[in-house]
Structure 1
Amino acid sequence: MTTPPDSFSDQLPPERFKGPVVLRRSEMSRRTSDQRLLDQRPEAPGDFTRTDPWRVLRIQAEFVEGFDALATLGPAISVFGSARTPPEHPEYRTAREIGRALGRAGYAVVTGGGPGVMEAANRGAVDVGAPSVGIGIELPHEQRLNDWVDLGINFRYFFARKTMFVKYTQGFVVLPGGFGTLDELFEALTLVQTGKVTRFPVILVGTAFWSPLIAWLERTVASDVKIAPDDLELFHVTDSVEQAVSILVEAHAASNSSGA
């Protein structure tokens, strides 16, 4: 039987999430929760569900849901990188191999749940039967968790989501990416630098991509005493999947043997 060209399956609408809520068609024009929280314009008078005290309850619920879902995850590593990396790109293949290697080493693989590098890392975890986790976020445009996420959580608020990455993982592997990737990278480095998290390896994969940034940190930021020279030792740079995983395993073995 031939499927009519205007069948419903050929017209699946775009969608995005607001926490557990799915928005499609005209509903996608709604502002995100973060937009409303940070917008200085007054909300409709008398509407309690649009006030900050009400949002506190919603934020609390996000933390409870995240803590409940991830509390028994076990050893885990977050993998970050561009959502725009296509499957045929070498970085996609590298991310997938990183997911496999982390899984073989006994780690769950945690990503932002999107496409590109995130999808590849989740896919690599599934390849070897390791836990594959996606921590998604509400965005103004179409988005969904990739098909290789086995445990997925969608958040309304960026800061609640970011807490989950740090609280339930023991290190970051960062592949080339854009603003979101850089945001996660520098936030992790700041937490390590200030002692908020300890023994938290941060590994940059892709020397050609990261070298100009590192040179700027050395020649401009450090030389102008905006950071200390030893702050440049808070991260590792490599092109080797094996070396990246080895750094993580050794750091956590040292941490466990010291009783920290």
Structure 2
Amino acid sequence: MSTSEDRKIKEKFKHKTWNEIKTNDSWAIFKIMAEFVDGYEKLSRIGPCVSIFGSARTKPDHKYYKLAESIAYKLTKNGYGVVTGGGPGIMEAGNKGAHKGKGISVGLNIELPFEQHDNPYIDKDKSLDFDYFFVRKVMFVKYSQGFVVMPGGFGTLDELFEAITLIQTKKIGAFPIILVGTEFWSGLIDWVKSTVLEKFSNISESDLDLFSIVDTEDEVLDVVNSFYKKYSLSPNF
């Protein structure tokens, strides 16, 4: 029996008639458009928010779950809203901390075959569901004024490098990108410095200034507050 993965691969090699392209591929544009419109309408009214990225697999008793919850709590108590991917793990911790701090708690959920489900700490009118990863990522970077990146997997790395690339290429403003957990991130950053920068010269040395690495919730808050102070901005007080 063919698996779902097998069918997806074979579908890419299937010859399609022009009518099939018009009915299947072309009409998907309207679903994509609907996700963009819904996201723009809801998120344009939330005010200054910080995105928290991280693994859906992190359990509530893990130190990084507790740290993410504490970070979100302190952010909301200082007037910032929190945006997460809306699922379990670090995302749940972020929304939980924001909910506890009585601040804005947004969830941008994605339909996946495993791991992903809405967590109960998202504001009822600030929960969005997406079918398309690329639409969801646009919402993250368009409506976030800072990115807190906790330990995670491929999805977290994807979100991290998306934000770095957009800032590096000046497609968005140079909002703070904060990597939390030296023990987790140091190996990756060492590789970026020694291989990507020094050995292959594929980035500039100044690109290393696009992010910072911290270990505590107070350090996260200091970076975000310093950014807002630098530009004479004000959070949601």
The two structures have a TM-score, normalised by structure 2, of 0.88
What number of residue pairs does the alignment pair up?
A: 225
Alignment-derived partner of residue 246 in structure 1: 222
Contact 2:88 2:116 in 1 (8 A): no
Which deviates more, 146-155 or 78-87? 146-155
Could you list the structure 1 runs, at least 4 aligned residues long, displaced by more than 6 angstroms after superposition: none
Summarize the Cα distance change of 1:171–1:49 in structure 2 as closer, same or farther, 3 Å threshold: same
Q: Tell me, in whole angstroms, the C-alpha distance in 2 between the residues paired with 1:181 and 1:76.
A: 18
Residue pairs, 1:205-244, within 5 angstroms: 205-223=180-198, 224-244=200-220
Structure 2 gap segments, 5+ residues each: none
Q: Deviations over 1:66-93 (max 9, x none)?
A: 0111111001000001110000100010
Contact 1:199 1:255 in 2 (8 A): no
Q: Tell me, in whole angstroms, the C-alpha distance in 1 between the residues paired with 2:120 and 2:152.
A: 21
Report the RMSD for the aligned CA atoms in angstroms: 2.2
Summarize the Cα distance change of 1:144–1:41 in structure 2 as closer, same or farther, 3 Å threshold: farther
Summarize the Cα distance change of 1:103–1:49 in structure 2 as closer, same or farther, 3 Å threshold: farther
Summarize the Cα distance change of 1:61–1:251 in structure 2 as closer, same or farther, 3 Å threshold: same
Q: Tell me, in whole angstroms, the C-alpha distance in 1 between the residues paired with 2:15 and 2:111.
A: 22
Contact 2:67 2:216 in 1 (8 A): no
Deviation at 1:156, TM superposition (A): 1.0
Q: Tell me, in whole angstroms, the C-alpha distance in 1 between the residues paired with 2:23 and 2:112.
A: 19
Which deviates more, 46-55 or 127-136? 46-55
Q: Deviations over 1:106-143 (max 9, x none)?
A: 11110001111110010000001001111011213363
Summarize the Cα distance change of 1:124–1:191 in structure 2 as closer, same or farther, 3 Å threshold: same
Structure 1 gap segments, 5+ residues each: 1-28
Aligned match of 1:128 in 101, 104, 112?
101
Q: Which amino acid aligns with 1:220?
A: T
Contact 1:43 1:50 in 2 (8 A): no
Aligned match of 1:99 in 72, 79, 85?
72
Residue pairs, 1:1-260, within 5 angstroms: 39=12, 41=14, 46=19, 50-141=23-114, 143-150=116-123, 151-223=126-198, 224-256=200-232
Q: Tell me, in whole angstroms, the C-alpha distance in 1 between the residues paired with 2:60 and 2:17.
A: 45
Contact 1:43 1:51 in 2 (8 A): no
Q: Tell me, in whole angstroms, the C-alpha distance in 2 between the residues paired with 1:185 and 1:191.
A: 10
Contact 1:172 1:201 in 2 (8 A): yes
Contact 2:146 2:224 in 1 (8 A): yes
Q: Tell me, in whole angstroms, the C-alpha distance in 2 between the residues paired with 1:104 and 1:130.
A: 7
Q: Deviations over 1:231-257 (max 9, x none)?
A: 111100000211111111211222236
Q: Which amino acid aligns with 1:90?
A: K
Alignment-derived partner of residue 4 in structure 1: none
Summarize the Cα distance change of 1:68–1:40 in structure 2 as closer, same or farther, 3 Å threshold: farther
Identity %: 47
Where 1:176 maps in the other structure, the secondary structure is coil
Which has the higher Rg, Structure 1 or Structure 2? 1
Deviation at 1:40, TM superposition (A): 5.2
